[in-house]
Structure 1
Amino acid sequence: MADKRDYYELLGVTKTATKDDIKKAFHKLAHKFHPDKKEGDADRFKEVSEAYSVLSDDKKRAEYDSYGRVFGGGGPGAGAGGFQGGAGFDFSQFQDAFNQGGFDMGDIFSDFFGGQAEASRMRRGRDISIDLEVSFRDSVFGVKRSVLLAKTGVCDSCQGSGAVMGTEMLTCKHCNGAGKVHETSNSFFGTVTMVQPCKYCKGQGKVPKEKCQTCRGEGVYKKQEEIAIAVPAGINGGEMIRLTGMGEAVAGGVAGDLYVKVHVQPDARFKKDGPNILTEISVKLSDALLGTSYKIETLEGSEVLDIPQGVTHGETLTIKGKGVPSARGKRGDFLVKIRITLPNKLSRTARGLIEKLREEGI
């Protein structure tokens, strides 16, 4: 490495780190910076790979700790630490590190060895996320909503081709119709050839003879789209709805996804508890003692609730099948918590009656 960065610093470990600590740090960073990842960084990947190859080897680590470098193997194509460009490099340690996570070394290092790397993944547009607020009732029964969203979408005029409809598409002269180009660079591994999508034809191998005026030949452009969102019954606040392919479009690839984070407006009368809906009602002391029926409000209108004789404060009564619908067609229950209210003041008559009740042992 040209900047001679400290290997321990590169892996984010201390000089007293164990081999297991070093292996875990490399495992995490290698996957983060792997060039095949969307946010990958080939240079950083090479740096952490070199650091791991030294610090995971007891002899090389001892040399590095003593002299700040590793000796041996300093022939043509060797890197700053004296590594041959693939000839004298021991990759078994990398395989061992990744085996713990169930990863195939062919996936990780195929981009660097064997001469060339093939860009196997199709280009993908950016994922986007939005917030959507729904009422408590809509969170219970579900609702269909539409939102107007400004995002990069496929051009309506050319249907994504980038060409005026009906005009000819020409073979890209930059990649000779292959849709990809070879980029060669030197690294401590040796000469590395990366295969990248051609930026001129967006990996398609063809370019428009006459560019679409709406998108200027890009095939995509920023526009407003109306997106239909089906909010499922029983959704909770904070849950996400994923709409595949409704994210940002990209020329010559597939669109990303749209993630909708749902926020549920609170309702002063009701709460959800799994498949059930909870509410509370106040019941007079006399009604609790003698029993009666109350008209109560639910999310579907009024219901008559029978208050049994001798109901207690805090007791929960159930109306079956009036809760949250499930995907299997079943519904939870509507639960009513009883709050017995006591009068703050008593009339002389009421006090006399209660005194008689006390005499009766009630």
Structure 2
Amino acid sequence: MVKDTKLYTLLGIDPSASEQEIKKAYRKAALKYHPDKPTGDTEKFKEISEAFDILSNEEKREIYDNYGLEAARGNAPAADTGNPFAGAGGGAGGPQFHFGGAPGGGRYSNTDAFNLFSQMGGFGMGDDGFTFSSSGGSPFGGAGGFGGSRGGMPGGFGRQPPRPEPDTVSMPLSVTLEDLYKGTTKKLKITRKNANGTKEQKVIEVNIKPGWKSGTKINFSNEGDYQPECGTRQTIQFVIEEKPNPIFKRDGNDLTLNVTLTFKESLCGFERDVTTLDGRRIPISRTQPIQPGTTSTYPGLGMPISKAPGGRGDLHIVYKVDYPTSLTPAQKAAIQQNF
């Protein structure tokens, strides 16, 4: 007669349930109570996982049926003279034997539950459970189950479905043109989900290299939310987005700078200084008339080329002329007289 039926009740099965019925019951309950599901319940998920861990192991199930849950956990009371796993002399002072690892047995943890779920195929487990090795009555191979320690890697699997690759979650990362010119380090705080369903914050450092462009992708493996079905964390992918610059416009590795001249400067010449992205001042001048839209090119003053260390693009200065919107009669006469 079964001494304790609690674990059978948790899985919704009879004490006479077959191995296949136990597998199906675990699958149904695990998918219902997994914390990532709308119907999730972390504590319930842990309880049904421990129930499956014990009932799917032939030796543990026999101990549970005859002596109860604590005995199956490895906590065999020495004073119980009806328990063959009690002390050698049957008295309170005799030695005790423990099946669950360290003396005291240790309670089944959330981590144990997530590990079991992941090892059993996670959300990809089939309708009829899993294909196990036929070498023993336990889904973990032989009668020893986890080999004396909960949460370890199981042995004796037959055909186990391959784990899916973790998801990649993309996030935009806005960067100024100045930072893309010089390079910089961005420290970003993320919030991610752990294996036990709790959340934590972590700071990720993104090293921006000089010359990177919009669309550049930086991957951080195993840094996102934990995915039980994969047994690892998501990959976080930052995608560079270049912020508009009020002065310079980028075209590949080249930079363009517009310089606006007065009508008088376009005719009589000018002297100016322009400041580059790295703070250098370069002089520009003309002594002769300059046509609107004229472009002057300065090699090597553009953006760094990330794939060619030491290489740089060009700086193009485009001259715009600020024409007057009206002329006085005297100004018109002067133009007609001199042109």
The structure with the greater share of residues assigned to strand is 1
**Rg larger in 1 or in 2?**
2
Higher relative contact order (CA 8 A, sep 6+): 1
Instruction: Return the TM-score normalized by structure 1.
Output: 0.44
